[in-house]
A and B are shown apart, each in its own frame.
Chain A
């Protein structure tokens, strides 16, 4: 048992070390400046004077993640309320398997459905070519629905029964109870779900890569082709050779992704602590 734990710690530390050491290689040997990497908007690694500005990708990742959370959170919270407060019987029986099913679908399927359904729909109804930030955010929002819903539903179900009963005893209606008692009390737990969903959206690669367009520019509209950190890494990693500045720049992006994951974990921790009080 303790051996497993030890092994796990060693593996985690070595993975973090590996990504970090490759990620800072470009900065250490003076190939790229940190500020240039983080805030540079020009990405042309194959040019004669290459530039490695990753800002378009960093901003793209944050943009699709925030948009996806904005779309998915209200839907998920409503679904969770429906399952636990409104019709706990058949509502839960119906929704639970559907949500479990959603979380089990591989991301390539989401990507392909996005490419075959969402992209043509956006192309026909809105300006642009359908491919772009909006398509990416829509695909992601469906993908993170199950995460937020199941966490929110767990939080709502674990709420002490007497809290609700006291509210009803005071003469509050169901809607008043939900909006004044249940939601405020479970807010930190629901936010945990939202943050976990965002962590998933931030790290998702394949599905987004298929529908976002991957042009290395900061998008000026939701219907414009853009890139995320993950999409650039997956597109470039196999085609570049280890140790080249371009490959190292991709590792730097992986490092940014990893640090962001730490931030998300930290956020969840903080929310959990608030939840206990």
Chain B
């Protein structure tokens, strides 16, 4: 009998929580678009006297979340009438929610066209590229390799090469630490470092959080994986790609190819408050401040640009 009671208690608690979460979402859906303001309020200092107000809800990519949170906090300090909420949930969630107008901004590691099956829905979304993330292949320090070519990486991640000695390293079996098939980081690594999609290999390990991936690579003998530049430190060995060092300068100059934009999508043209917030992202203050501080690469500094199809053109 005691059990039944505790079960019912637990159920009630969960449903109350679920309900309150729903209510929250619903409330945020109705973003107030303050029409009475002067339209030229792109400057966040709003020196013209126009006050921005309203609430903004952003959700999606957990890789981008810390940056958006930090920038939102600064933005709210100078614009006391604005309330910005940032949620995680993953790129897929962000894109789904923004295309269904449940949130104002959908954060994503990949182009919407790659995730949304419905091309018409993807076309409705407006892309705002706020930062760049570069990804480097990393190995356990004891693997004894400094650099890998594209072909060697492909052979390793498709299971053709299974020992480090075949690529000039120690006599040690290779252990792949991968990301799940749906991960944006994996998609970036596969399309720009390997140039091909890979099947999961039996015995490979998949972890989703970058922290866990780093820990695993640092501790597991013979491990190989890939991490965003901001996560690299001495516990893992950063591998050069085709002889090119994965450094910020090389990414900016277009020499190192394994990088992707961090996107903030809006459904159609953003309203005044959202636009002011997104514009604030591209100011020098944020691009050379928060973006660099948190380990991303400023989108404004990039000397090359890349489109959905992956074609890179000099700016």
Residue of A15, A213, A244, A246 near B205 (CB, 8 A) is A213
Asked if A216 is at the interface (CB within 8 A of a chain B CB), the reply is yes
Q: Contacts A45-B182, A120-B219 given: A238-B203 contact, CB under 8 Å? A: no
Which B180-203 residues sit within 8 Å CB-CB of chain A?
A: 180-184, 197, 199-203
1/0 contact string of B190-231 vs chain A (CB within 8 Å): 000000010111111111100010011001100000000000
Q: Contacts A8-B15, A241-B116 given: A225-B181 contact, CB under 8 Å? A: no
Interface size class of A (residues with CB under 8 A): 35 or more
Asked if A36 is at the interface (CB within 8 A of a chain B CB), the reply is no
CB neighbours (8 Å) of A232 from chain B are: 180
Which A196-254 residues sit within 8 Å CB-CB of chain B?
A: 196, 209-210, 213-217, 224-225, 232, 234-244, 246-247
Q: Contacts A241-B96, A244-B117 given: A46-B197 contact, CB under 8 Å? A: yes
Cα(A196)–Cα(B8), bound, Å: 15
Among B2, B8, B11, B207, residue most surrounded by chain A Cβ atoms (within 10 Å): B207
The count of chain B contact residues (Cβ–Cβ below 8 Å) is 43
Q: Contacts A154-B2, A235-B180 given: A213-B206 contact, CB under 8 Å? A: yes
Residue of A12, A131, A238 near B89 (CB, 8 A) is A238
With both beta carbons as reference points, the residue of chain A lying nearest to B18 in the complex is identified as: A11
With both beta carbons as reference points, the residue of chain B lying nearest to A44 in the complex is identified as: B199
Output the least CB separation between A60 and chain B (Å): 13
Asked if A93 is at the interface (CB within 8 A of a chain B CB), the reply is no
Cα(A210)–Cα(B45), bound, Å: 45
Among B92, B203, B208, residue most surrounded by chain A Cβ atoms (within 10 Å): B203
Cα(A234)–Cα(B209), bound, Å: 12
CB neighbours (8 Å) of A131 from chain B are: 205, 216, 220
Ordered by A's residue number, 7 sampled pairs between the chains whose C-beta atoms are within 8 Å are A44-B199, A130-B220, A235-B208, A237-B90, A239-B91, A239-B92, A242-B92
Q: Which residues of A are in contact with B by a Cβ distance under 8 Å?
A: 4, 7-8, 11-12, 15, 43-48, 115, 119-120, 123, 129-131, 154, 192, 196, 209-210, 213-217, 224-225, 232, 234-244, 246-247, 268
